Amino acid sequence: MNIKEKPFTFRFVEAGPNVVLELTNATDRTLKCVEVLTVFLKDEVTPGGGPSQAHIQFDAIERILPTEKSVMSHRTWINGKPAAGERDLLGRLRVIAGEANPYVLDLSWQDVDGKTRFQRIPVGH
């Protein structure tokens, strides 16, 4: 696998009142142990920004088959506590054309040889 290869594409999908992250394996290989690192959100309340009060954790996916789409389960945490559904903040990771992308989805996975690989995807607004 080429180091510069970008095996994942993504999109944010409306799922009823919620937003979910959908990853697509754009390769012809099965990718295993797919994980997205926790995303710490910038504080929008404190003037000038403050320590992150909210973050989003994603559940790992055991494997994604070639060309398969998979929804990443996630949970928003605010001040160390799980947030109720109406306080979910995944929508802040949506990409808006012309806006800066202040966040990154850091993905890791294992290829068919068991080597851990990484991909960074700029997101957010």
How confident is the model over 63-120, as pLDDT tens digits? 999 999 999 999 999 999 999 888 999 999 999 999 999 999 999 999 989 999 999 9
Say which amino acid occupies 69. Answer: K
Are the beta carbons of 58 and 74 closer than 8 angstroms? yes
Are the beta carbons of 31 and 109 closer than 8 angstroms? yes
What pLDDT score does 18 carry? 83
Are the beta carbons of 42 and 49 closer than 8 angstroms? yes
HSE at residue 100, side-chain half, CA atoms within 13 A, is 2
CA 109/CA 20 separation, integer angstroms: 20
| This prediction's pTM | 0.89
Q: Could you report the per-residue pLDDT of 8-59, keeping only the tens digit for each?
A: 999 999 888 888 999 999 999 999 999 999 999 998 877 777 788 999 999 9
Q: DSSP letter for 105, please.
A: E
The CATH number given to 8-123 is 2.60.40
Kindly give, in sequence order, each residue whose CB lies less than 8 Å from that of residue 13, ignoring residues fewer than 6 positions away.
19, 20, 21, 22, 71
The pairing of beta strand 61-64 with beta strand 31-36: antiparallel
The pairing of beta strand 74-78 with beta strand 69-72: unpaired
**Other CB atoms closer than 10 Å to residue 87's CB: what's the count?**
10
